[in-house]
């Protein structure tokens, strides 16, 4: 058994763990990184990267059908699933070197590929290594949650970890779960040519602003995706070579493949957290605002911390931990300025408070600004006019923004910056955006804050008339 002493031990080589490792070692800390699975974690290998590559492929299939509106005739697209799958794998392979063991060892990180478990409050055993660290970071990520549906264990279901390995395009894909993953994959596979049925126990995209979610869902239904809301699966079973879902309402669904996209659970099993005195919650490892666990020498970040499950949150957490663990500086994590995006077409993005949340907090002192995509010249030129932006404003400052539009995931960054920096709506209205761009939408909606104050104000009009009479 090799004894190792280090400044910082990181368990998990996903986005958060790699960010901590890279930052810490380049600042002079001695770093050990332990990973039992693939370098790059879920995002690179099973999540963000392959899913967005698939969405991009699906967009190419969809495009010829829209070309006639531009005066262009294009032959219908033909899908070769194995070549689509090769595109996904090539995308992963192109990004993988950035997250590779070789790169991190080149930076000076000691990388150990083994399962890690605590054997004391400050010691971890990983394979043939016993590691004692001044500080430990748990960046173990999350895994697909599989609901307790009768018979599901006897059905060959897919998750985001196995979806990319199928050998044929599903003829009819059943999706259990109407969250972001489920809806993104529903639209992508529908565009690739599969029949798709989504079963959601509550509301599809239920976390989002209902008005904005409805725009996305209506568009998906217009493309042929079947979305069943308020339906619970009571049993799953095989029906010959097919998969059958029995719903509590009495409906029966039959498909060729089943994707379980019913949420995710933090990876905490087998870590020996109790040995280290680390408490857990219903959603993951319990942490304070500084991301410390009940063991003050141990931090938890990203999905493992049981909060927002986004790659960019893990990266944000990494910065908090580096500041605290390396330099002993006070650092607190906040979710109030963290954006999120669902990469359907149109995309749906949000940051800060939703309209409902903002009205509950600020009452009649809240102003909601709105601007439709149909008034954006670039959107008109590209026939991407489905959607709108809503910005919640309190006392001249934005407190939340929701966007449904082409490129909404990019457009939301302006509002994420505004919330994180305390930018006033007047500053956003004064911004100059290049014409014609989708980005003009952000400036234009900010400008609507001043419309009633300038153009519908009698005092302003009276002052203007007076000044005009006095000017030479």
Per-residue pLDDT tens for 168-216?
999 999 999 999 999 999 999 999 999 999 999 999 999 999 999 999 9
Could you tell me the strand order of the sheet in which 233-239 lies?
233-239, 242-247, 252-255
pLDDT tens across 46-87, in order? 999 999 999 999 999 999 999 999 999 998 899 999 999 999
Decide if 125 contacts 32 (C-beta within 8 A).
Answer: no
pLDDT tens by residue, 393-428? 999 999 999 999 999 999 999 999 999 999 999 999
* Domains delineated in the chain: 2-39+100-144+265-327 (3.50.50.60), 152-262 (3.50.50.60), 340-454 (3.30.390.30)
Q: How far is CA 131 from the centre of its chain?
A: 33
- Summarize the confidence of residues 134-143 as an average pLDDT: 97
What are the phi and psi torsion angles at 337 (to 5°)?
Answer: -115, 15
Tokens linked to 20: 């901590």
pLDDT, average across residues 362-383:
97
Classify strands 347-352 and 366-372 as parallel, antiparallel or unpaired: unpaired
Give me 295's structure tokens.
């063991």
Q: Residue 259: which of 243, 246, 239, 248 has the closest Cα?
A: 243
Distance separating alpha carbons of residues 190 and 42, to the nearest angstrom: 24
Mean pLDDT throughout 141-154? 96
Mean local confidence (pLDDT), 358-386: 97
Q: CA-CA distances (angstroms) from residue 357 to 71, 121, 361, 362, 463?
A: 44, 40, 6, 9, 38
pLDDT on residue 171: 98
């Amino acid at each position: 058994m090799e004894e190792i002493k280090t400044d910082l031990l990181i368990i998990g080589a996903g986005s958060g763990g790699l960010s901590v490792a890279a930052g810490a070692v380049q600042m002079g800390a001695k770093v050990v990184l332990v990973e039992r699975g693939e370098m790059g974690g879920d995002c690179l290998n099973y999540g963000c990267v392959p899913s967005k590559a698939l969405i991009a492929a699906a967009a190419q299939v969809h495009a010829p059908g829209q070309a006639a509106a531009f005066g262009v005739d294009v032959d219908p697209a033909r899908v070769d699933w194995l070549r689509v799958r090769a595109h996904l794998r090539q995308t992963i392979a192109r990004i993988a070197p950035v997250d590779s063991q070789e790169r991190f060892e080149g930076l000076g990180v000691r990388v150990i590929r083994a399962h890690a478990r605590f054997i004391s409050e400050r010691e971890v055993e990983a394979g043939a290594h016993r590691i004692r660290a001044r500080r430990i970071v748990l960046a173990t990520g999350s895994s697909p949650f599989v609901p307790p549906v009768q018979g599901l264990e006897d059905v060959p279901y897919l998750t985001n970890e196995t979806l990319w390995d199928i050998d044929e395009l599903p003829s009819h894909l059943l999706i259990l779960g109407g969250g972001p993953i489920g809806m993104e994959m529903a639209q992508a596979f529908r565009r690739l040519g599969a029949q798709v049925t989504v079963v959601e126990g509550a509301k599809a995209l239920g976390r989002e602003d209902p008005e904005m979610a409805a725009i996305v869902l209506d568009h998906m239904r217009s493309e042929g995706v079947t979305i069943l809301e308020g339906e619970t699966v009571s049993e799953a079973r095989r029906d010959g070579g097919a998969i059958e879902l029995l719903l509590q309402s009495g409906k029966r669904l039959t498909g060729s493949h089943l994707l379980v996209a019913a949420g995710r659970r933090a990876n905490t099993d087998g870590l020996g957290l109790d040995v280290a005195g680390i408490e857990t919650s219903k959603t993951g490892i319990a942490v304070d605002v500084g991301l410390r666990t009940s063991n003050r020498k141990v931090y938890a970040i990203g999905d493992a911390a049981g909060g927002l499950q986004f790659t960019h949150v893990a990266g944000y957490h990494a910065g908090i931990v580096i500041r605290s663990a390396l330099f002993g500086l006070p650092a607190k994590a906040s979710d109030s300025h963290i954006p999120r995006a669902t990469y359907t077409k149109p995309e749906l993005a949000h940051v800060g408070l939703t309209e409902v949340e903002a009205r509950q907090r600020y009452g009649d002192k809240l102003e909601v600004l709105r601007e439709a995509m149909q008034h954006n010249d670039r959107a008109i030129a590209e026939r991407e006019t489905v959607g709108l932006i809503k910005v919640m404003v309190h006392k001249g400052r934005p407190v939340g923004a929701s966007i449904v539009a082409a490129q909404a995931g990019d457009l939301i960054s302006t509002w994420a910056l505004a919330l994180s920096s305390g930018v006033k709506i007047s500053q956003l209205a004064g911004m100059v955006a290049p014409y014609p761009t989708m980005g003009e939408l952000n400036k234009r909606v900010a400008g609507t804050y001043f419309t009633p104050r300038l153009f519908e104000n009698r005092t302003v009009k009276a002052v203007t008339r007076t000044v005009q009479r006095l000017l030479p």
